[in-house]
Amino acid sequence: MMQSNSRDIPEIDTKILQHSKVGIATQSKLEKLVELGIAISKEKDHHVLLKQILFGGQKLANAEAATLYTRTDDEELRFAIRSMDDTLPSFTIPLYDKDSGKPRHQNISTHVALTGETVRISDIYNENHGFDISGTRAFDESTGYRTVSMLTVPLSPRDGQIIGVLQLINAKDPVSGEIVPFTEEMASFCKALSSQAAVALENQKLIVAQRELMDSIVQVIASAIDAKSAYTGGHCERVPLLVEQLAKAAHDSNEKPFNDFKMVDDEAWRELLLAAWLHDCGKVTTPEHIVDKATKLETINNRIHEIRMRFEVLRRDAEIDYLKGVIAGDKNFTHDKLKKRWQWLDEAFAFVSKCNIGGEFMSQDKIDRLKEISKESWLRHFDDQLGLSEMEQKRLKECPTAPLPHVEQLLADKAEHLINWPVGFRQYVEQGSKKDFNMKIPEYMSNQGELHNLSISRGTLTTEDRFRINDHVIQTILMLKQLPNTKGLNNLVEFAGGHHEAMNGLGYPKGLKGEQMSLPARMLAIADIFEALTASDRPYKKAKTLSEAVRIMSFMQKDGHIDPNLFQLFLSSGIYLKYANTYLRPDQIDEVDVDSYLN
């Protein structure tokens, strides 16, 4: 029977124990690696992500210190973050020589960033590694620190592009705490971590770039809308500023009804400001001549010029008739009669011209006078359907024509002045209106009748023009609904599409009441109104002074048009004055008795 050697048994047990410890340590590192990978893949905040990568790598490698570099678009390495509490260096490390353009392989970090290799050094000062360590030496001398072992790994995402470098310094023995070299196994774990970190950073970078691109496109659209009209320039830019200030005041308030209103994160702010930038995006569909309609007869041109020529014709006709009468010896044609006729034409044209401006209320007696003037007639000798575009010819094809010469009214509402909706458009709008909107659709897309326009009681817009203006909100909603339902932008349509709704339910396009609207949508309404009242670049109205704008908005508050609590906050927070000092002309900024409007 063979006897066992008792001295062999402890030796076998020790090896098993050592292997067991190594296995447990490896398992622990794997668990840490998985845990870190999950954490960094979920993190949205860029700075927090950098910290997770840095301190996660340091913990995984049991290193004394760590530094994380990021690669810039200028082909440099920037100190992003490091584990020590000292101030990060402000300088960057070029990857290529400034003069020769050659790659700089002399530094460890730049070499790793250029090649994608992992560099593991056991003793930085005593090992023949061939790298320039003057930077490390200078740091050690200035801080009293002693760098010994170093592990430098690249951060490389899917495409192989190196986007950063993780540098770990002085590995510590987990038992004795002594400084030891980084093992090959540890380098493998750190490379695995750096790959996950690089993907997380790249994903975050792509998301940020995507958002910046979208934000830029939004601002380009808003700028295009402002540029479309010389008279509304800057509106889409100024409204977000007012909304942001009002939202901040509500967010900071601890008083009812704003104590529960909080802009919870950057996503909430982004959504609100995007809505403010896009609130008028539907105006791209509004004809420019309606947006800029400064006079009642304005379309592409101001048609008062056509009417003036008719008055010129009548004036000359009167003079010709007088001269013919004199030649014929007809005593009914006297110079006094000619002068009276001229005087009547002068006064009539002056009245029509004043009506065209639209600055005064058109009472019934004024409308009646217009109708009397319109009964005057003039003789047309030329075909009014010559020289027209193909589209105009198609539109006028169904309009009746008369043999020439033809007697016409001085002011007229003709069949050709009535422009129908494009085929299918009216049905499309009506279907949308029945489902989502409460706006009544006019029978015609446009009514350019001269009497119809000159008889507008207030302002310069007809019912048809007003619908086309108001329709921009419907178009805004329809456009924004086509955007993918991106997380964080769920309320974009509601915010942007509600800036013409009223607390009393008499707004548009949906006729919502106050409780049906979110606070941000009501903020947009106040910002939109205040900017429009004080803007000095509108052709159809004079810019209001600060006190006039506040007084008008106070009436709107009493009438249930705007949110009274937000209006009070708008005044008490001083937003109105801060905005005025930046964007209003000095002559617009006058004294406002705020106390008289509060409570």
Which residue, among 500, 492, 444, 440, has the nearest Cα to 472 in the 3D structure? 500
**Residues, the chain, total?**
599
Percent of the chain with pLDDT over 70: 91
| 174 pLDDT higher than 80 | yes
Q: How confident is the model at residue 87 (pLDDT cuts 50, 70, 90)?
A: confident
Q: What is the pLDDT, as a whole number, of residue 539?
A: 57
| 7 pLDDT higher than 50 | no
DSSP per-residue codes, 346-396: HHHHHHHHHHHH--S---HHHHHHHHHHHT-EEEE-S-TTTT--HHHHHHT
Mean pLDDT rounded to a whole number for the chain: 88
Q: How confident is the model at residue 452 (pLDDT cuts 50, 70, 90)?
A: very high
Half-sphere exposure of 577 (CA within 13 A, CB side): 10
Q: What is the pLDDT, as a whole number, of residue 395?
A: 84
- Taking residues 95-111, what's their average pLDDT? 94
Q: What is the pLDDT, as a whole number, of residue 398?
A: 80
| 574 pLDDT higher than 50 | yes
592 near 576, Cβ under 8 Å?
Answer: yes
- Taking residues 521-530, what's their average pLDDT? 96
283 DSSP assignment:
G
Q: What is the CA radius of gyration of the chain?
A: 39
Q: What is the pLDDT, as a whole number, of residue 266?
A: 86
| 540 pLDDT higher than 60 | no
Which residue, among 503, 498, 446, 502, has the nearest Cα to 469 in the 3D structure? 446
| 159 pLDDT higher than 80 | no
What are the b/e assignments for 68-84, b being 16+ CB within 10 Å?
bbbbeeeebbbbbbbbe
139 DSSP assignment:
H
State pLDDT tens for residues 232-269.
667 888 999 999 999 999 999 998 999 899 998 888 99
Q: What is the pLDDT, as a whole number, of residue 435?
A: 62
Q: What is the pLDDT, as a whole number, of residue 340?
A: 96
According to DSSP, the residues that pair with 419 across neighbouring strands are 446
* Close Cβ partners of 153 (under 8 Å, ≥ 6 residues apart): 112, 118, 165, 166, 168, 187, 190, 191, 194
29 near 36, Cβ under 8 Å?
Answer: no
State how far the Cα of 234 lies from the Cα of 213, in Å rounded to an integer. Answer: 21
Q: What is the pLDDT, as a whole number, of residue 399?
A: 82
State pLDDT tens for residues 105-125.
999 999 999 999 999 999 999
* Sign for the pseudo-dihedral over CA of 378, 382, 383, 386: negative
Q: How far separated are the first and last CA of the chain, in Å rounded? A: 107
* Domains contained in the chain, CATH given: 8-206 (3.30.450.40), 231-293+461-596 (1.10.3210.10), 304-419 (no CATH)
Which residue type occupies 416?
A: E
3-state secondary structure 541-587: CCCCCHHHHHHHHHHHHHCCCCCHHHHHHHHHCCHHHHHHHHHCCHH
Element (H, E) at 30: helix 8-42
- Taking residues 479-486, what's their average pLDDT? 79
Q: What is the pLDDT, as a whole number, of residue 219?
A: 83
Element (H, E) at 589: none
Percent of the chain with pLDDT over 90: 58
Q: What is the pLDDT, as a whole number, of residue 536?
A: 76
Q: Supply 575's token pair.
A: 């937003």
What are the b/e assignments for 135-162, b being 16+ CB within 10 Å?
ebeebeeeeeeebbbbbbbbbbbeeeeb
What are the b/e assignments for 417-446, b being 16+ CB within 10 Å?
bbeebeeeebeebeebbeeebebebbebbb
Q: What is the pLDDT, as a whole number, of residue 37?
A: 74
Which residue, among 546, 297, 554, 545, has the nearest Cα to 417 in the 3D structure? 297
State pLDDT tens for residues 393-447.
888 888 888 899 999 999 999 999 999 888 777 666 666 555 678 888 888 999 9
294 near 540, Cβ under 8 Å?
Answer: yes
Of 43-57, 193-207, 215-229, 420-434, the range with the lowest mean pLDDT is 420-434
- Taking residues 1-25, what's their average pLDDT? 48
Per the listing, tokens 């310094």 go with: 169
In the three-class reduction of DSSP (H, G, I as helix; E, B as strand; rest coil), residue 102 is classed as coil
What are the b/e assignments for 499-534, b being 16+ CB within 10 Å?
bbbbbeeebbbbebebeebebbbbbbbbbbbbbbbb
Q: Supply 489's token pair.
A: 């932008």
Q: What is the pLDDT, as a whole number, of residue 10?
A: 47
From the CB of residue 586, how many other CB atoms can be counted at a distance below 10 Å? 8
Q: How confident is the model at residue 23 (pLDDT cuts 50, 70, 90)?
A: low
| 21 pLDDT higher than 70 | no
Element (H, E) at 92: strand 92-94
* Close Cβ partners of 257 (under 8 Å, ≥ 6 residues apart): 565
Q: How confident is the model at residue 479 (pLDDT cuts 50, 70, 90)?
A: confident
Which residue, among 534, 556, 536, 535, has the nearest Cα to 545 in the 3D structure? 534
Q: What is the pLDDT, as a whole number, of residue 312?
A: 97
- Taking residues 100-105, what's their average pLDDT? 94
Q: Exposed/middle/buried for 262, CB within 10 Å: 0-12, 13-18, 19+? A: exposed
State pLDDT tens for residues 487-502.
668 899 999 999 999 9
State how far the Cα of 307 lies from the Cα of 454, in Å rounded to an integer. Answer: 12
Q: What is the pLDDT, as a whole number, of residue 430?
A: 63
Distances (CA, A) of 352 to 302, 335, 356: 13, 26, 6
| 39 pLDDT higher than 60 | yes
- Taking residues 372-399, what's their average pLDDT? 90
Q: What is the pLDDT, as a whole number, of residue 433?
A: 55
In the three-class reduction of DSSP (H, G, I as helix; E, B as strand; rest coil), residue 105 is classed as coil
Q: What angle do CA 581, 584, 590 make, to 5 degrees?
A: 75
279 near 472, Cβ under 8 Å?
Answer: no
Q: What angle do CA 375, 378, 379 make, to 5 degrees?
A: 140
In the three-class reduction of DSSP (H, G, I as helix; E, B as strand; rest coil), residue 513 is classed as strand
| 457 pLDDT higher than 60 | yes
